[in-house]
């Protein structure tokens, strides 16, 4: 006979504690309350048409093509229809509130932080020997060897090796600070002198420096950054009281 297991709300709460996930759940609950409070203060409304459009968009993005697919997904997520509507409603409030609070600050933020959104197309090989790195650097400068050949010899990752060490377009915030400083001071195409980090000795060929454009994607990214920073500040300033039915020392 299959084992019959009964799971209570208290079991779920205890599991969240034992897996160190309770703090993130509490943070999410606090965030939701802050959003609803701020939306009420700002008299932010969601009408039925907006809610339906957002629900349809959610279903499209999650490939819930039919009512049956949606109902199955809701059952898997342990959500009622009312809870699904509340989820969509909260997501819409987030978007509207973010636009209300920070929609007119995007351009000025972009101008002030433009350098942070720069990116570079580059090739990279990481070595573990300083002397070898310098030897290869001078050989590359004298065109005694090509970067793709260096990549073929010294890169273990098969896909990166096949691309000749091409890392693609890398954003400044995804680079180590010591590497970013050298990359964005380069005049492409330029081979940089070997750079030492905790990861190893980096041989980098900067192919292109890409200046950021304030397109729709970047607008949304900046808006999300400003809104998340605001939520973090609101959370830190809030007095949070949690009432749990499980003692913190109960096992």
> For the segment 52-107, what is each residue's pLDDT rounded down to a tens digit?
999 999 999 999 999 999 999 999 999 999 999 999 999 999 999 999 999 999 99
Residue 39's contacts (CB-CB under 8 Å, 6 or more residues apart) are 93, 96, 97
* Structural domain includes residue 150: yes
Q: Are 20 and 94 contained in the same domain? A: yes
Q: Which two three-digit tokens encode residue 7? A: 């799971």
Q: Are residues 74 and 148 in the same domain?
A: no
Distance CA 31, CA 33 (A): 5
Determine how many CB atoms are found less than 10 A away from the CB of residue 202: 22
Cβ atoms within 10 Å, residue 78: 8
E strands along the chain, which residues?
A: 119-127, 166-171, 190-191, 195-197, 200-210
Is the pLDDT assigned to residue 1 strictly greater than 60? Answer: yes
d(CA 54, CA 89): 8
Q: Find the CATH number of the domain harbouring 201.
A: 3.10.50.40
Claim to verify: residue 199 and residue 222 sit in the same structural domain:
no
What would the mean pLDDT of 18-22 be, rounded to a whole number? 92
136 and 201, same domain (yes or no): yes
Report if residue 249 sits inside a domain: no
* CA distance between the termini of the chain: 29
| Mean pLDDT confidence for 233-242 | 80
Q: What pLDDT score was predicted for residue 98?
A: 96
Regarding whether 57 and 129 lie in a shared domain, the answer is: no
For range 127-136, the mean pLDDT:
95
Residues 123 and 102 grouped into a single domain: no
Model confidence at 248, pLDDT cuts 50, 70, 90, reads very low
**Within a domain: 123:** yes
Q: Is residue 140 part of a domain?
A: yes
155 with 182, same domain: the answer is yes
Residue 228 structural domain: 9-108+218-237
Q: Which residues contact 56 (CB under 8 A, 6 or more apart)?
A: none
- Domains of the chain: total: 2
Three-class DSSP category at 125:
strand
- The answer to whether residue 242 is domain-embedded is no
Which candidate, 21, 24, 92, 27, places its Cα nearest to that of 238? 27
Rounded to whole angstroms, the Cα distance separating 45 from 96 reads 9
Q: Over 80: is that where the pLDDT of 13 sits?
A: yes
Q: Does a structural domain hold residue 92?
A: yes
Instruction: For residue 147, tell me if it sits in a domain.
Output: yes
User: In this structure, is residue 2 part of a structural domain?
Assistant: no
pLDDT at residue 215, rounded to an integer: 93
Which pLDDT band holds residue 196 (cuts at 50, 70, 90)? very high
């Amino acid at each position: 006979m299959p084992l019959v297991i009964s799971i209570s709300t208290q079991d779920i709460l205890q599991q969240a504690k034992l897996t160190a996930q309770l703090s993130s759940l509490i943070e999410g609950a606090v965030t939701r309350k802050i959003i609803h409070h701020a939306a009420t203060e700002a008299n932010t409304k969601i009408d039925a048409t907006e809610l339906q459009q957002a629900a349809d968009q959610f279903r499209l993005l999650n490939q819930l093509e039919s009512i049956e697919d949606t109902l199955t997904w809701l059952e898997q997520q342990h959500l009622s229809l009312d809870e699904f509507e509340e989820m969509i409603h909260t997501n819409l409030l987030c978007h509207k509130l973010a636009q209300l609070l920070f929609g007119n600050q995007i351009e000025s933020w972009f101008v002030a932080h433009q350098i942070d959104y720069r990116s570079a197309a580059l090739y990279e090989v990481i070595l573990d020997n300083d002397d070898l790195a310098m030897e290869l650097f001078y050989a590359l400068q004298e065109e005694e060897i090509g970067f793709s050949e260096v990549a073929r010899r010294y890169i273990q990752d098969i896909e990166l090796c096949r691309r000749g060490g091409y890392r693609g377009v890398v954003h400044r915030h995804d680079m180590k600070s010591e590497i970013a400083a050298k990359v964005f001071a380069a005049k492409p195409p330029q081979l940089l002198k070997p750079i030492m980090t905790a990861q190893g000795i980096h041989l980098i060929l900067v192919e292109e420096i890409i200046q950021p454009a304030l397109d729709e994607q970047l607008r949304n990214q900046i808006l999300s950054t400003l809104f998340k920073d605001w939520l973090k500040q609101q959370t830190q300033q809030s007095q949070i009281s949690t009432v749990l039915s499980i003692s913190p020392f109960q096992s």
